[in-house]
Every structure is written in C-alpha cells, then in structure tokens.
Amino acid sequence: MKRRKDMLGLRGVERADIEEILDTAEQMREISRRKVKKVPTLRGRTVVTLFFENSTRTRTSFDLAAKRLSADTLGFSVSTSSTTKGETLMDTARTIYAMSPDAVVVRHACAGAPHLLARHFPWTVLNAGDGINEHPSQALLDMLTMRDRFAEIDGGGLEGRKVAIVGDVQHSRVARSNIFGLTTMGAKVLVAGPGTMCRSDLAALPVEIRHTVDDVVAEADVIMMLRIQRERLGRAVLPSAREYAAFYGLDLDRLKRARPDVVVMHPGPINRGVEIAADVADGPNSVILDQVTNGIAVRMALLFLLLGNADDHAQAP
C-alpha cells in the first residue's frame, strides 16, 4: 500500500493489499476497545467528509475513525454547502482544497465523482460510495467481518467460500465492491434477485447468477441481503414490498434451509420485514452489528495506510 494515494474501489486491488488493510484493521480494533479510544497517529492532519448524498452510518463511521487517530475532521454536506446554489463539484472541491485538507471522504450520486477529485488534486480521496459504482470501505468491513466469523467457525479464511448476495444487486455499489474484493480473495460469489435488479448483464462480472433466494440459501457460507435502492430505480420495478418479501426476503423458514452456521449480513439501513425478517436480523446468525463495529476499524486502517504511511513523522499507533 506504500505508494497508493487514494482508495477509489476494489476493482484491480491486489490480494496482498486487501490483506494488509484487513490485518491493519484488526490492530485498529484494539484501540476502540480501550477506555481512551485515541492514538496520536494522524495528529495535525485534516480529514474532510464531503457527502452529496444522505448518509448517517458511513459518514459517522469515517468521522469517528479519523477522530480516533487524532485527525481534525470537518463535515461538508450538500444541505449546508453551495451546491444547492448551483456550484459545480469542481468548484466545491477547489474551495475545500483552499482550506488545505489532507484527505477527503466523498460520497456522490454520480459514479466517478471521487475519481475526478482524486485526479485533479494532490489530496488523498476515499470513495464512500459513488452512484452504482463502488463502496470499497463497506466491502472491506464486510470481508473483515466474514474473516472473523470463519476463524471462529472452522479456523479458515475467505478462500473457497460461497457468498450469496441477494436483492438489488444491479444498483448496489456494495455488491460491486464485494464482488471485486471477494473474488480477489478466492471466494465465489452467487447473486440472486428479481430480473430487474439482477439482470443478465451482471454476467460481465465474476459472479454466478441465480434467481430466487431459495436457489442460493442451502449452499451459501454467507448470505448478504441488500436494500432495494429506491432512489436509483427511477420507475417502479417491483409490484409490492409484500411480494418482494415472499420471493426474495430472508425469513426464519428460509434460514432453516441454510447451513446452521451460515453468516447473515446486511450493509444497512435494513428494511425489517422486506428483505430481511426482524427475527433473522436480530438472530444468532446475524453479524449486522459486527459490521458496524468493524466499519470504524477498517476506515481507521485506510486512513492510517493512506495518510500515515506517506508521512515520515507519523507515529504508529
């Protein structure tokens, strides 16, 4: 990771780099268990979170991660910025750049927005979700969560595991980043969802396309349920939430057909009773809250590896 300036996506990222991020995140996790949850590693550095789309968990997770490494943080959100007054993305970026931040965490509804900011400015850019393209920190925290659970179950890693991603795969940047990351780590990805949310053009990605949730449940080591991305669907592609739950939702009856130690995941926010039943989301197979905890550790690792390593004066935690 030494020469990497940005984290824009997991497509093309090598296995050794993913392993380094996950191993570093494991060390970072220890800091969050202390009474004083702070190390001086990024003292004096400034991290801006620049969010053009609503977000609570990703934004607060990056914010806490930066704070636990002692960086100064500044939140810049679209509702408080001039973009609502017609300012372009590049003008917003120039304004923020004039305040000399070291890193910018960007979320934008357009695929490629973080790449543009990474190309035109020398700061470090972390993609916190760009349209339907990628959401790399989410997939990394998902992989860390899976790795932990597999280590507990049988001592193994990600290699050879079957991960089923179910639901609106077509519009999910979480799914895309997981597909790239997991296949690099030697796992196999099965996808299932309604025809409009899991189209045959997904075959261009390294996945096996199935149809209903019943086609993947029995053989999966991990079942990752996705939220329907209503904001990206445009016109309705789904008759009703009830019908969706009947064909694609994960409830206790379906879970009975899975391996007893199957790992149930969801990036959040969850729609209880639609893609996942409440008793499954809160049940013993669910690692949904571990995903949230690991999110901070993974984002601390990314900030440390991208910013800390580049600076000779940075102190290791």
Query: Does residue 282 sit in helix, strand or coil?
Result: coil
Q: Is residue 302 within 8 Å of residue 126, measured between CB atoms?
A: yes
* Binding track, positions 72-111, relative to ligand NCD; x by CB under 6 A: ----------------------------------------
- 185-213: b (≥16 Cβ within 10 Å) or e: bebbbbbbbbeebbeeebeebebebbeeb
* Binding track, positions 201-230, relative to ligand NCD; x by CB under 6 A: --------------------------x---
Q: Is 57 in the site for ligand NCD (CB under 6 A)?
A: yes
Of 312, 313, 315, 302, the closest CA to residue 103 belongs to 302
Comparing CB distances to ligand NCD, the nearer of 118 and 165 is 165
Cα(275)–Cα(287) distance, integer angstroms: 16
- 114-136: b (≥16 Cβ within 10 Å) or e: bbbbbeebebbbbbbbbbbbbbb
Comparing CB distances to ligand NCD, the nearer of 101 and 267 is 267
Residue 97: both structure tokens together: 């750049």
Q: Given the residues 11, 57, 210, 259, select the one marked as catalytic.
A: 57
Q: Is 176 in the site for ligand NCD (CB under 6 A)?
A: no
Q: Is residue 216 within 8 Å of residue 210, measured between CB atoms?
A: yes
- Which of 136, 167, 181, 267 binds ligand NCD (CB under 6 A)? It is 267
Comparing CB distances to ligand NCD, the nearer of 4 and 57 is 57
Residue nearest to ligand NCD (CB): 227
Query: Does residue 182 sit in helix, strand or coil?
Result: helix
- Which of 129, 136, 181, 193 binds ligand NCD (CB under 6 A)? It is 129
Comparing CB distances to ligand NCD, the nearer of 238 and 310 is 238
| 135 is a catalytic site residue | yes
Q: Given the residues 107, 149, 173, 266, select the one marked as catalytic.
A: 107
| 254 is a catalytic site residue | no
Element (H, E) at 104: strand 103-108
Comparing CB distances to ligand NCD, the nearer of 70 and 293 is 293
| 107 is a catalytic site residue | yes
What's 34's DSSP letter?
S
Shortest spacing between CB 291 and ligand NCD, in angstroms = 10
Q: Is the backbone of residue 263 left (phi > 0), alpha (psi -120 to 50) or beta? A: beta
- Which of 41, 46, 49, 58 binds ligand NCD (CB under 6 A)? It is 58
Shortest spacing between CB 190 and ligand NCD, in angstroms = 19
Is omega for the bond preceding 269 within 30 degrees of 0, making it cis?
A: yes
Q: Is 174 in the site for ligand NCD (CB under 6 A)?
A: yes
140: exposed, middle or buried (C-beta count within 10 Å: 0-12, 13-18, 19+)? buried
Q: Is 173 in the site for ligand NCD (CB under 6 A)?
A: yes
Residue corresponding to tokens 């796992």: 187
| 242 is a catalytic site residue | no
| 188 is a catalytic site residue | no
Comparing CB distances to ligand NCD, the nearer of 292 and 310 is 292
What's 5's DSSP letter?
-
Q: Is 184 in the site for ligand NCD (CB under 6 A)?
A: no
Comparing CB distances to ligand NCD, the nearer of 224 and 258 is 224
- Which of 46, 127, 138, 291 binds ligand NCD (CB under 6 A)? It is 138
Amino acid at 185: M
Q: Which residues lie near ligand NCD (CB under 6 A)?
A: 57-58, 129, 135, 138, 173-174, 227, 267-268
Give the catalytic positions in this structure: 57-58, 85, 107, 135
